[in-house]
Amino acid sequence: MTWLKYDYPHNAVSNRSMFNAKSFLKVFDFTRMDIDFVFTHQPELLYNVLVALMDKRYGEITSRFSFYHWVDCSASRGSPAIPHSYMRQLEAVNLSDKIFLHAPVSVDYMETNFKTEKSVSFNREYVESKTVYMPLGASEKTKVRPWSLDKFDKPIFVFNHRWSQSTGINRFLEYTKDLTDKYTFIITDSNAENVPTGYHVMTDFLDSEQYRYLLKNSVATLCFVDGYATWNLSVQDHLAVDGTCIAYDHPIHKHIFNNAPNMTWNVSLFKTKEEFHERLTWAVKYRNERVKDGDEFDARPPLEHDETFRWNLLNAMENCIRTTKNTPKDAPAWTYFIQNGVQFKSDIANQVQPNIKLNSVWQYIRRWLLANGVKDDYLSPYTKYTIDDDAVDALKELTADLNLSVKPQTNKQTIVVPKHEWF
């Protein structure tokens, strides 16, 4: 993988609308590079990316995957003044080979945009036909760094979400306001404001090792998200230290917790204030029993979300990669030069078609090569071909009757990733 710098807007609204095609194209030199897949984590920009590639006569057979970490709808917009972008997200569905969603609830959110009449209708069956799921797991880091918790002399519960209306802070305060003399409630968001007395805000930022130490020494984490949510990583954090999460019974949790019952040793869901208070009492008792038994609260096997996502992604890539059944006219010639030590794309093109600097046919030749035993060195930032041992004999037979020879190369291919200075 080659990392390439690009001027990406950091504003959550702007980065779904602004695209600098000129800077984007400066990053790529398609006389030396190839792209097989376009992965976009901003589906609203897929059209812009594809048009930019076509300006360089590239991208005709690239496979397109869009990853929807956020779905535009009335429930997810921070303000009704923000222009709607769901039509651009649907546009990406049409342009993509596959779309990746965290869970089926994402499609539900998409559909809410069509409760009133629009210029087009929502085809749920079509969207679901392209959907692949991407469940995400919490960090699997295991190191801890102790720090003093001596000032906390009551059972610790951790609110480990952003301090925001969208994470349910109003319900959290309402449900816990009469319990601060009984329990310690720690808020990990160091930027939390307007927090009533009786709660503890971690004004000093906790690194991952300090955070893990806090989790190992707390009773449970608390989640009050009751609105828009297509996934949640924070609810998995305490599970990673073999602990407990007490969470509001949101529909997304059945996907995150693999349909666990509402009350288990590590997942405890609630709907009412009374149920929440019962869950706290149970969690303290449960933890005390484990401490008494000498439990170290070590790492437990994570939920298998990342492995599921990995398998789904690789399976989709294998199914969607476009190959050509017919042998392109110049494919045998490309094979010949690879056999004779000319490995880099630009050097091969200069041998076969010295007067053509950019040609979309090269993409079809590449796919044919990869499907017939030629490998591309993924460690090289530039396309560099070699022939797999199992394909040597078959490809020799293919090129046996060619009347070709390697011409002297005036420019030696070098592997240099340029430093871009246009930002």
Domain enclosing residue 398, as ranges: 323-423
- Measured CA to CA, the distance from residue 282 to residue 246 in angstroms comes to 11
For 327-410, where are the alpha helices, taking DSSP H only? Answer: 331-339, 345-352, 361-371, 392-399
Task: Please tell me whether residues 236 and 372 are part of one structural domain.
Answer: no
Residue 315 included in any domain:
yes
What single-letter DSSP state applies at residue 409?
P
Residue 5 included in any domain:
no
Task: Please tell me whether residues 316 and 377 are part of one structural domain.
Answer: no
Residue 143 included in any domain:
no
- Measured CA to CA, the distance from residue 247 to residue 199 in angstroms comes to 19
Task: State whether residue 187 is helix, strand or coil.
Answer: strand
- Measured CA to CA, the distance from residue 331 to residue 364 in angstroms comes to 9
Tell me which of 168-172, 278-282, 294-298, 322-326 is least confident: 294-298
Amino acid identity, position 282 = W
Task: Please tell me whether residues 165 and 280 are part of one structural domain.
Answer: yes
Task: Please tell me whether residues 174 and 115 are part of one structural domain.
Answer: no
Residue 99 included in any domain:
yes
Task: Please tell me whether residues 182 and 89 are part of one structural domain.
Answer: no
Task: Please tell me whether residues 62 and 104 are part of one structural domain.
Answer: yes
Residue 108 included in any domain:
yes
Residue 33 included in any domain:
yes
Strands 184-187 and 156-159: parallel
pLDDT at 410: 56
pTM of the model: 0.88
End residue of a domain, out of 269, 302, 335: 302
Rounded to a whole number of angstroms, the distance between the first and last alpha carbons of the chain is 22
CATH of residue 267: 3.40.50.2000
Residue 22 CB neighbour total at 10 angstroms: 9
333-369: per-residue pLDDT in tens? 999 999 999 999 999 999 998 776 677 788 999 999 9
Instruction: Tell whether the model's pLDDT for residue 45 goes beyond 60.
Output: yes
CATH of residue 383: 1.10.10
pLDDT at 302: 64
Count of structural domains, the chain: 3
Task: Please tell me whether residues 382 and 357 are part of one structural domain.
Answer: yes
Task: Please tell me whether residues 293 and 330 are part of one structural domain.
Answer: no
Phi, psi for 320 (deg, rounded to 5): -100, -15
320-334: per-residue pLDDT in tens? 987 777 899 999 999
- Measured CA to CA, the distance from residue 85 to residue 73 in angstroms comes to 8
Task: Please tell me whether residues 297 and 316 are part of one structural domain.
Answer: no
- Greatest Cα pair distance, the chain, in angstroms, is 89
Integer CA distances (angstroms), 264 to 112, 251, 257, 270, in order: 33, 17, 11, 12
- Measured CA to CA, the distance from residue 146 to residue 291 in angstroms comes to 18
- Mean pLDDT over residues 370-385, rounded? 93
Instruction: Tell whether the model's pLDDT for residue 97 goes beyond 70.
Output: yes
